[in-house]
Structure 1
Amino acid sequence: MLIKTGRDGFIHPVSSEITPQAVYRDRREILRLMATGAAGTALAAWAGRQAQAQAQRPGKLAALQAARSTVPGAVTMEKVTDYKDASTYNNFYEFGTDKADPARNAHTLKTTPWTVEVEGLVKKPAKYALEDLLKLGAQEERIYRLRCVEGWSMVIPWVGYSLSKLVEKVEPMGNAKFVEFITLADPKTMPYVGSRVLDWPYAEGLRLDEAMHPLTLLSFGMYGEVLPNQNGAPVRLVVPWKYGFKSAKSLVKIRFTDREPKTAWNKAAANEYGFYSNVNPEVDHPRWSQATERRIGEDGLFAKKRKTLMFNGYEAQVGQLYAGMDLKKNY
């Protein structure tokens, strides 16, 4: 049993107390480049990244210290979406169907104490208290694109670690082929649970190899702080090459199974939301095109839509997972 008692929450180190490993590595890189004569360009790039990093943490919630990820593809140099936009324009139907509803209503969510139960076809099933779950892997900052099926996108600096750390800890059995993710469904704190829009609790799923991919993130924070309630506190999934609804929020149970799990949106409208839901500009939603997207924060009069990238721009990292598959049939 891994649940701790006598604690109401967890404490994160204050960012000013230590030098982040990512900053330390950047400084070392600057010194190396100075020796090769490339210092001017390097200093400008480093200063830009530092300025962006300082702007990322809004100082609203507890700090969550993290080193910059070294996982291939885990950090995009695209402009990060403003925290205000990322925390006020959300899909979280347990708190309402309008994009502004979660930020208005999610204050009722109670995130401490919190446990995540791992069960099913694993050798080491367990219940993890949040503080124990945090300790399973070193916290990393990963700047991922988030693409939603409605046609909008963001760039968010998430904090967490590869889900594979947890998967390896619980030791899946040989017949485990899929991972199901179950989220909290508490009508006392989530006012829209019980509405007819979805079958509650919200459930999502991945193939085991997708869950084991290093880009698949178990996230506890964003912008250098713990997750806001409306963004899936206290722990959520982030699968950057899939549409946003695959990244289940406020996880309470992870189940390993030999069968493809039934997922919330697939049950609601199978012809619109497939099990895989990989970002694919060549496969339109039945009611709108997926060829382009609108980046939140670029809403000016003359702002152009962006071309949607295959696998949301992560094709080099994840394309091999779907070799030989018909991606129009397996949408």
Structure 2
Amino acid sequence: MNLRDALKIRASEVTDETVYRDRRRLLAVFASLPALSLAGCADAEPPPASRTPVTPAQARAGFSTDEALTRYEDVTTYNNFYEFGTGKQDPSRAAKTLRTSPWTVEVAGECARPGRIALEDLLRGATEEERTYRLRCVEGWSMVIPWLGVPLADVLKRFEPTANAKFVAFTTLADRDQMPGLRVRSINWPYREGLRIDEAMHPLVFLATGLYGKPLPQQNGAPLRLVVPWKYGFKSIKSIVRIEFTERMPPTAWNDLQPREYGFFSNVNPDVDHPRWSQKTERRIAGDGAGRLFPQRIQTRMFNGYADQVASLYSGMDLKRWY
């Protein structure tokens, strides 16, 4: 299928597995296009607004859900991690080459205490918690995952970000010896993501080090990944090696590749369709233990169901513009 044909796919069809494979094939097409960047919006910030901070009780209400958990076997074998291949099962097979210890993270930019720090020191003093969050992929599928980890804000505050720190940028490891997918020019490696500083400090944002009570598997972003439950899954960057406080909006991988389809904010919003498929519903991934998936289609909720906790962050913003 070529790009012209792919763009003609009806919204009712694009959520099928065959269409996700078409999306992967499109990566090669996009990679051959002229470079796209955030030029012209690097300093973009939301309009001033009075935001009511989320209360501790509101935050705690978002830390768990009574929805059925996605099976561990499905969480760990149905993944997007293009550094290890573009197929859903590729990461679980190929990511065993990822060495997760020792692991260091560089902290840089607009902060008083920058430096390179070992993972165990980065997390020292933070209390490990379990949070059960919904994960909504931009492709139209979702899971419910019990994560282990620490609040991102508790880690970031230790580095004393300055008043100039308006955004937080994250970078994934990019090692061709460990990550065979880097040999394919699909994304402008390394993978990069970012949040506005108030988003990064929100109590829902989590640095995950495990899931289902076990250490985080390589294919799920070991040893350290971000979890931002009200945004599409590609915002929850994996295998983090760099955190930078910046004054300007940082470039991010998918937005850099195709900004018309993947916005910087990328909040889950059923009223804003992806240019090539609807976002009104999603396939909740479930399995039978034998590798066969039986997705259940459900309605997508604004902010992935976390509106009570995060809607105030975007008061006064045009949520369609800031997709």
- Answer yes or no: same fold by TM over 0.5: yes
The answer for the alignment partner of 1:330 in structure 2 is 322
> Are 1:133 and 2:125 matched, yes or no?
no
- Residue 243 of structure 1 deviates from its aligned partner by 0.3
Amino acid at match of 2:91: P
Residue 204 of structure 1 aligns to a residue in which SS?
A: strand
The answer for the alignment partner of 2:279 in structure 1 is 290
Residue 170 of structure 2 aligns to a residue in which SS?
A: strand
Amino acid at match of 2:318: D
Q: How many residues align?
A: 262
Amino acid at match of 2:215: V
- Residue 303 of structure 1 deviates from its aligned partner by 6.2
> Are 1:149 and 2:138 matched, yes or no?
yes
- Residue 72 of structure 1 deviates from its aligned partner by 3.1
Matches within 5 A, 1:37-116: 71-116=60-105
**After the TM superposition, which of the residue ranges 188-197 and 89-98 deviates more from structure 2?**
188-197
Looking at structure 2, the residues matched to 175 and 136 of structure 1 have their Cα atoms a distance apart, in angstroms, of: 26
Looking at structure 1, the residues matched to 294 and 220 of structure 2 have their Cα atoms a distance apart, in angstroms, of: 29
Q: Which runs of 4+ in 1 moved over 3 A?
A: 298-304
Residue 71 of structure 1 aligns to a residue in which SS?
A: helix
> Are 1:306 and 2:298 matched, yes or no?
yes
Aligned CA distance change for structure 1 residues 129 and 156 (closer, same or farther; 3 Å)? same
Aligned CA distance change for structure 1 residues 324 and 298 (closer, same or farther; 3 Å)? farther
- Residue 77 of structure 1 deviates from its aligned partner by 1.1
Looking at structure 1, the residues matched to 311 and 157 of structure 2 have their Cα atoms a distance apart, in angstroms, of: 23
Looking at structure 1, the residues matched to 100 and 157 of structure 2 have their Cα atoms a distance apart, in angstroms, of: 26
Q: Is the 1:79–1:155 contact (alpha carbons within 8 Å) kept by the matching residues of 2?
A: yes
Residues 218-276 of structure 1 show CA distances to partners (whole Å, capped at 9, x for unaligned) of 11110001100000000010000000000000000000000000000001100000000
Looking at structure 2, the residues matched to 90 and 226 of structure 1 have their Cα atoms a distance apart, in angstroms, of: 17
> What is the Cα-based RMSD across aligned positions, in Å?
1.5
Residue 253 of structure 1 aligns to a residue in which SS?
A: strand
Q: Is the 1:90–1:100 contact (alpha carbons within 8 Å) kept by the matching residues of 2?
A: yes
**After the TM superposition, which of the residue ranges 122-131 and 229-238 deviates more from structure 2?**
122-131
Aligned CA distance change for structure 1 residues 304 and 100 (closer, same or farther; 3 Å)? closer
Residue 149 of structure 2 aligns to a residue in which SS?
A: strand
Looking at structure 1, the residues matched to 115 and 305 of structure 2 have their Cα atoms a distance apart, in angstroms, of: 35
Structure 1: 5+ residue runs without aligned partners? 1-69
- Residue 302 of structure 1 deviates from its aligned partner by 8.8
- Residue 130 of structure 1 deviates from its aligned partner by 1.4
The answer for the alignment partner of 1:235 in structure 2 is 224
Where relative contact order (Cα < 8 A, 6+ residues apart) is larger, the structure is: 2
- Residue 134 of structure 1 deviates from its aligned partner by 2.6
Q: Is the 1:194–1:200 contact (alpha carbons within 8 Å) kept by the matching residues of 2?
A: no
> Are 1:275 and 2:264 matched, yes or no?
yes
TM-score, structure 2 normalization = 0.79
Q: Is the 2:286–2:293 contact (alpha carbons within 8 Å) kept by the matching residues of 1?
A: no
Amino acid at match of 2:65: T
Amino acid at match of 2:66: M
Residues 23-70 of structure 1 show CA distances to partners (whole Å, capped at 9, x for unaligned) of xxxxxxxxxxxxxxxxxxxxxxxxxxxxxxxxxxxxxxxxxxxxxxx8
- Residue 150 of structure 1 deviates from its aligned partner by 0.4
> Are 1:218 and 2:217 matched, yes or no?
no
> Are 1:264 and 2:253 matched, yes or no?
yes
Residue 183 of structure 2 aligns to a residue in which SS?
A: coil
Selected match of 1:317 from 305, 309, 318: 309
The answer for the alignment partner of 1:194 in structure 2 is 183
Using the aligned pairs only, state the percent identity.
62
Residue 180 of structure 2 aligns to a residue in which SS?
A: coil
Residues 99-158 of structure 1 show CA distances to partners (whole Å, capped at 9, x for unaligned) of 010001000000111001110000011222111123231000000000000000000000
Aligned CA distance change for structure 1 residues 104 and 293 (closer, same or farther; 3 Å)? same
Aligned CA distance change for structure 1 residues 132 and 302 (closer, same or farther; 3 Å)? closer
Structure 2: 5+ residue runs without aligned partners? 1-58
**Structure with greater Cα Rg:** 1
Aligned CA distance change for structure 1 residues 303 and 192 (closer, same or farther; 3 Å)? closer
Residue 139 of structure 2 aligns to a residue in which SS?
A: coil
Looking at structure 2, the residues matched to 71 and 302 of structure 1 have their Cα atoms a distance apart, in angstroms, of: 31
The answer for the alignment partner of 1:203 in structure 2 is 192
Amino acid at match of 2:263: G
Looking at structure 1, the residues matched to 294 and 187 of structure 2 have their Cα atoms a distance apart, in angstroms, of: 37
Residue 266 of structure 1 aligns to a residue in which SS?
A: helix
Q: Is the 1:109–1:229 contact (alpha carbons within 8 Å) kept by the matching residues of 2?
A: yes
Q: Is the 2:286–2:294 contact (alpha carbons within 8 Å) kept by the matching residues of 1?
A: no
Looking at structure 2, the residues matched to 72 and 128 of structure 1 have their Cα atoms a distance apart, in angstroms, of: 33
Residue 273 of structure 2 aligns to a residue in which SS?
A: coil
